[in-house]
Amino acid sequence: MIGSNLIKARTRGRSSARTPHGLSRPATMTWEPRDARGFSSTILPYEPTSQKETAVAIEVRNLSKRYGAFQAVKDVSFEVPAGQLVALLGPSGSGKSTILRMIAGLETADTGHVVLTGEDATRMPVQERGVGFVFQHYALFRHMTVRDNIAFGLKVRKLPKADIKARVDELLELVQLTGYSRRLPSQLSGGQRQRVALARALAPRPKVLLLDEPFGALDAKVRDELRAWLRKLHDEVHVTSLFVTHDQREAFEVSDQLVVLNEGRVQQAGSPQELYERPNSPFVASFLGQVNILPLGTIAPHDPPRDVTAGDPLLLAGAEAAADAQIYVRPHDMEIHRERNGRPAWRAVVTRVTPLGGAARLDLTIDDSHGIQLELPSDRLAGLNLHAGDAVFVVPRVANIFDPHSRTFQPVGGGTDAAL
């Protein structure tokens, strides 16, 4: 069980405390080392570098929430370091919005704490928390212009007119909507509206920004553009952001770190790459991308068999694993050959070849019973001249061996000199 998760600070060359846009970083706070109980093995040990990098802007501690008899959020703990963009990723119904709403103060937690820039905000009213939100359905004020929408939070705070104008101009530039200030929301595209929503949320200089599937209602191309844009924007303004999504690709593209949720619990937290390569559960392995799962016994040593102790990492790992262990291997982490090449391989038959542009997908069966998918570059496919019905050998380059008894993964391969 993961009782608490530390998301290690990672920098992307962010340095200034005050940005060109004048948005200040959340106040730095003293770092207090946390109880190591339940730290996931995939999360690197804490390495102090500087106060700035290690300050925690959002801390969620043992948060739980029940709706009637239904437990929507179960003892959730995680931290978001100041200045990072962290994705809360999980399937629909996993409790993401409920957690975000509890951080915002729109929902009360049954148990647990929300700490914002060092201050316990669990019982603080929404307006005192200093959070900005952008929600998929958090509509703009329809009868207000873009300028008035962005200025709204500043007018409520009764800021001097000249300051409001300057701040709105700055934000219009930041979200690339200078020249649109007099338009009404109905005169904007969906993507432009969400950029206005983001500017409105950023206007009062929130300590943290919460985004709940902000691009969920937009079509695929606009979503792609906005993701890239949001990432770039975040690199400029560094406002600590928690981004909710059910889309693993979106989470990978946008975030520094991920917190993966399933059925109201944190499954794993860490960098996208760590989680992808070193999942701690079948759920995380499958949720973060396509993966083939095969009984370990289906993989055959090369011919003639070698002494296992002197052999291949896959066989060595397999020798230590339970008899009912499984191999998890991603479609692009496999090689395909017409002949055996001396490594452990599956003997397979091609059932379908699907060109996907620069790459191709192959559907194969192993032992007439296990279907797998493999991805390879189109030129490699052309070189092999493969067709449905061809017999081939499939060699995992990188894999994880899952032991169903200890519920742990053992990674195999991946190193430059690994023999896989």
Expressed in percent and rounded to 5, the helix, strand and coil fractions of the chain are: 25, 30, 45
Per-residue burial over 158-185, b = 16 or more CB atoms within 10 Å of its CB, e = otherwise: ebeeeebeebbebbbebbebeebbeeeb
Structure token digits, residue 371: 């279907």
Q: Please state, in angstroms and rounded to a whole number, the distance separating the CA atoms of residues 46 and 53.
A: 11
Residue closer to ligand ADP, measured from CB, 5 or 97: 97
The one of Mg ion, ligand ADP, none whose footprint includes residue 204, by CB under 5 to 8 A per kind, is none
Residue 92 contacts ligand ADP per CB under 6 A: yes
Q: Tell me how many residues contact Mg ion (CB under 5 A).
A: 1
Contacts (Cβ under 8 Å, ≥6 apart) of 206: 130, 131, 132, 239
SS3 state of residue 349: strand
Q: Minimum distance from CB of 212 to ligand ADP (Å)?
A: 7
Residue 97 contacts Mg ion per CB under 5 A: yes
The one of Mg ion, ligand ADP, none whose footprint includes residue 67, by CB under 5 to 8 A per kind, is ligand ADP
Q: What is the phi/psi pair of residue 319, to 5°?
A: -65, -30
Residue closer to ligand ADP, measured from CB, 68 or 389: 68
Residue 93 contacts ligand ADP per CB under 6 A: yes
Q: Tell me how many residues contact ligand ADP (CB under 6 A).
A: 11
The one of Mg ion, ligand ADP, none whose footprint includes residue 130, by CB under 5 to 8 A per kind, is none
Residue among 26, 81, 95, 214 that touches ligand ADP (CB under 6 A) = 95
Q: Minimum distance from CB of 96 to Mg ion (Å)?
A: 5
Residue 309 contacts ligand ADP per CB under 6 A: no
Among the residue ranges 64-72, 133-141, 271-279, 281-289, the one whose residues contact ligand ADP (CB under 6 A): 64-72
Strands 292-295 and 326-329: antiparallel
Among the residue ranges 77-85, 92-100, 283-291, 396-404, the one whose residues contact Mg ion (CB under 5 A): 92-100
Contact 114, 103 (CB under 8 A): yes
Q: Please state, in angstroms and rounded to a whole number, the distance separating the CA atoms of residues 367 and 344.
A: 15
Per-residue burial over 277-300, b = 16 or more CB atoms within 10 Å of its CB, e = otherwise: bbbbbbbbbebbeebbebebebbe
Contact 257, 8 (CB under 8 A): yes
Residue among 77, 98, 248, 400 that touches ligand ADP (CB under 6 A) = 98
> In three state form, how does the secondary structure of 171-186 look?
HHHHCCCCCCCCCCHH
Q: Please state, in angstroms and rounded to a whole number, the distance separating the CA atoms of residues 355 and 376.
A: 10
Among the residue ranges 96-104, 107-115, 185-193, 358-366, the one whose residues contact Mg ion (CB under 5 A): 96-104
Residue closer to ligand ADP, measured from CB, 93 or 295: 93
Residue 69 contacts ligand ADP per CB under 6 A: no
The one of ligand ADP, Mg ion, none whose footprint includes residue 94, by CB under 5 to 8 A per kind, is ligand ADP
Residue among 4, 5, 97, 267 that touches ligand ADP (CB under 6 A) = 97
Residue nearest to Mg ion (CB): 97
Residue among 26, 81, 83, 90 that touches ligand ADP (CB under 6 A) = 90
Pick from 199, 160, 162: nearest CA to 178:
199
Pick from 62, 58, 45, 46: nearest CA to 4:
62
Q: Is 97 left (phi over 0), alpha (psi -120 to 50) or beta?
A: alpha
Residue 245 contacts ligand ADP per CB under 6 A: no
Residue closer to ligand ADP, measured from CB, 151 or 261: 261
On the CB side of 102, CA atoms within 13 Å amount to 29
Residue closer to ligand ADP, measured from CB, 152 or 215: 215
Residue closer to ligand ADP, measured from CB, 102 or 345: 102
Among the residue ranges 45-53, 92-100, 336-344, 383-391, the one whose residues contact ligand ADP (CB under 6 A): 92-100
Footprint on this chain of Mg ion (rule: CB under 5 A):
97
Footprint on this chain of ligand ADP (rule: CB under 6 A):
67, 70, 72, 90, 92-98
